[in-house]
Structure formats: structure tokens, C-alpha cells
Amino acid sequence: MGSCQSIEEGKTGQRPESKSVVHGVGSYPNKRNPASQPKLKTPEGHDSRRRSSIVVIPETVEDLQQNPGISDLDIFKYEEMKMATKHFRPKQVLGEGGFGIVYKGVIDEHVRPGYKTTYVAIKELDPEGLQGDREWLAEMNYLGQLRHPNLVKLIGYCCEDHHRLLVYEYMESGSLEKHLFPRMCATLTWSRRMKVALDAAKGLAFLHGAEMPVIYRDFKTSNILLDADFNAKLSDFGLAKDGPMGDQTHVSTRVMGTYGYAAPEYVMTGHLTARSDVYAYGVVLLEMLIGRRAIDKTRPSQEYNLVEWARPLLNHNKKLFKILDPRLKGQYSSKTVVKVASLAYQCLSQNPKGRPVMSQVVEILEALQVPQVKD
């Protein structure tokens, strides 16, 4: 596992004592991937203006089951989960994170009589892991109530004795991270990258525009999953948070997320807004343009942080085309690239008010879509 950079280091430039790394809980991360980025954590902030809404995180499963939408989820027995994963066979493992292990499974009539054969991804909470019941409840709470084509569908859950599992639709093509930064030379075409960018933007726009706004808080390539047709959906709602309401300007909260994607004002103050997600979106858009990770210690020191290195070059066309992902050569029009680069530049503004809202991002990207070409 690569070394970690904490918020404290980001502020002072000094390397602190080594800290634990927490990976995303909803993606299919490769636990052997040294480029996986560390989570951010700082002491809990306080918001004196507490409010109730349908998405306030419940304290218990019993509380959760009273929420609208949760009753639509299937409740599985632990024995059924064992059967679905072939007794949690290692070959069924899709990935592992702070939540625990994610398995590929199949639920059919042998697992549950009368059940139509369904391929699923099953996450099992590690009771001794770095994340606990609260993240598990948050995931259920949000995905149990929020439905959208660009959010991963939660099918059901298991809560039996000390066992905590979540059952999702299976996303055949894995994560955007896997396709954007492959070990082999195969890569996503320009048209597919733009379609994924649009899908992900639609998912965030839906969350921000909901009756009770939701801030995703952990937008990154490993949390964007792709189905068989490369439609993109957001996963991992363990860190999601109710957004500000009424005359609130922000939500004060403990800083959590992944280094390299967290908005600078959020890291410094703990003040969370929808524009924090917009910044993270800009980081991912930049990764898709340049073909590099947000934080990459294998690069020269001045190129270690992608945003710090590349953002100043996005408004200079000659410099821009020199840093674009070389694997995309000949797949795009220069006019389109300039527009996408300008969008990324705006999303990455140091001033939150200088960033567009996600509904505007969707409009811009819809106008830039091109016919899909098979990879």
C-alpha cells in the first residue's frame, strides 16, 4: 500500500505520523492497487441547525425500516447470502474496502424459491473494519429511497445477528477507474468517456436537485460503476450527507472523502455544499481528459497533484493539447476538447461560487455528445 497524505500534511507541508487508509465502500476497488487514495478525516464539526428529513441517518435498522422506500427492499437471510456467493468463495470477490468485501453473487430459485435469476454484488460489513453500522445504515437509507437510472440500484439487505450485508444490482463492466487506468493498453474511447461524464453528472444533478438535497461527498472514478453497455451509475453512499436547506449556506461536518478529490474549502473549514461535489466532479473530468490519476506519486514532483499541475494549462490551447491523454488521439474535435477543458476549469475553481451547478454541467455535456463507437 502506498504512503498516505493526510489533511494535516496538505495544510502544513509536513508529513505526519502514518495513518490508517480507508477505501471506498461502494466500489469494486482492488485491495492490491497501490494507487488507491486515502480517505480524509478531521474532527467532527457541529451544526447547530439540526433538521429532520426523510434522509436523516437513522440510528437503528428498526428506525430505518420505517422510512419510505425501505419496505420495497428484499430482506435476505444470511444462509441465502452464503448460497448466493458459493459460501463467500474467494473467486467471487470483486473487491475490498473499508466496508468489507464485495462479492459477485447470483440469486435464483435455488437461493430463494420463485426468485428470478439475478446477478448481484453483495457487500459484507467487516465488524472489525474501519467503517461501521452508521455507514451501512446511510447506504441503505439513501439508496433505499432514491431511485434514478444513474444511481446503482439497491435490491435488498441482510441484518441477522452480527451480519450486515447489502445486495446491489451487478455492474458487469466494473468501475470507471478500472477502464480509465488499466494495466493493459485498452482504454475508453473519447465518446464513451463523454457519455460516462454525462451519466455521472446526471446522477449528481439528481441528488442535488432532490426535494431534500443530498451531497454525495465521495465522488471519484472508483465509485462510478459501469453496466454491460457502459452506462454509468454512482455507487457508495456511505458518506452521503443531507444538504443545506432553507437559508442555510452549508452543512458543517467532519471532513471525509478521498484526498485529491475533496474541495479545498471543505478540507479547510468542514463546510460542505453541493459545490463540493462539483469540485470532485471536475477532478474526475480532468482525469478523463488527461488520462492520469488525481494523485500519482510515480510522476515528477510538480505533476504529483493533477489539479495543481494541469488546471492552469486548460485555458491555453497549445498547452492543453500537449497534456491530453495520448490514447485518445484522433477521436475528438478540437472544439469539443476546448469546451470540456473549460468546463473542468470552472468546476475546479478555488471559489465555490465560481463553479457551475450540476444541472448546468448536464446541459453543457448533452450538447457535446457524439455517436457511440465500440471500444
**Residue ranges per domain, the chain?**
61-169, 174-366
Nearest C-alpha neighbor of 353 from the set 232, 270, 250, 211:
250
- pLDDT above 70 (res 3): no
How many Cβ atoms from other residues are within 10 Å of residue 268's Cβ? 14
Q: For residue 139, report the phi and psi dihedrals to the nearest 5 degrees.
A: -60, -45
Where helices occur in 52-132 by DSSP H, the ranges are 61-64, 78-84
Q: To 10 degrees, the CA torsion angle through 209, 212, 217, 219?
A: -40
**What CATH architecture applies to the domain 61-169?**
2-Layer Sandwich (3.30)
Percent of the chain with pLDDT over 90: 57
Q: Look at 39 and 91; give whichever has higher pLDDT.
A: 91
Q: Binding site: which residues?
A: 123
* Secondary structure element (H or E) that encloses residue 198, with its range: helix 190-209
**Amino acid of residue 331:** Q
Q: Are strands 232-234 and 271-272 parallel, antiparallel or unpaired?
A: unpaired
- pLDDT above 80 (res 359): yes
In angstroms, what CA-CA distances link 243 with 10, 66, 114, 176, 225?
Answer: 26, 22, 40, 26, 24
Please indicate whether residue 218 is annotated as part of the active site. yes
The residue from 63, 72, 133, 218 that is catalytic is 218
Where helices occur in 210-333 by DSSP H, the ranges are 264-269, 274-290, 306-310, 317-323
Least trusted range by pLDDT, from 151-165, 221-235, 247-261: 247-261
Q: Does domain 174-366 have CATH number 1.10.510.10?
A: yes
Residue 19 C-alpha cell reads as 495513518
* Secondary structure element (H or E) that encloses residue 336, with its range: helix 334-347
Helix axes 358-366, 334-347, angle to 10 degrees: 180
CA 123, 125, 131, 135 torsion-angle sign: positive
Per-residue pLDDT, averaged over 248-262, amounts to 77
Q: Binding site for ATP: which residues?
A: 123
Least trusted range by pLDDT, from 38-52, 134-148, 191-205, 220-234: 38-52
Res 6: pLDDT: 31
